[in-house]
Amino acid sequence: MAEPSNPTAMPTTASVTMTQTESHQTRPLSRSNTITNTSGLSPSTLQANLLILPARHSTDFHHLCLRNPVACPPPRHHPHLISPAPCIQTPDFDVRTDCPRYRV
C-alpha cells in the first residue's frame, strides 16, 4: 500500500526535477541537501565559487590569481578588508548551509 501524500514535505533528491528558479527558491533546497548543484538554476543571479582562507594566506592566494586570471579571476583585495565582497542582501543567508558542497 502506498504511503499517503504529504504536500508540505520537502522533496527528496531523487524526486526533484529542477527548472530555472529564483535564488530565494533554490536556497531552501540547498540547505536540506535536496540539490547539490545550482549551476544554471537562477539565471538572473550571479554565481561564483567561494573560497574562504585564513588572512595569513590572502597575499599568496591573490598572487596565484594574478598568475592564473582565467582559472582564478583575481578577487578584490585589500590588506585591511574583512570581506572583499559586498554583503549578501538576504537576511537569512548562511554560508554553512546555503552553498551546496560547502566543506570546512
pLDDT in tens, 90-102: 677 777 777 766 5
As a whole number of angstroms, the distance between CA 7 and CA 12 comes to: 13
Question: Can you give the pTM of this predicted structure?
Answer: 0.43
Cα 84–Cα 65–Cα 47 angle in degrees, nearest 5: 55
List the grid coordinates of 99.
552553498
pLDDT at 67 over 70: yes
Residue 51 pLDDT grade (very low, low, confident, very high; cuts 50, 70, 90):
confident
Q: Up-side HSE of residue 58: CA atoms within 13 Å toward CB? A: 13
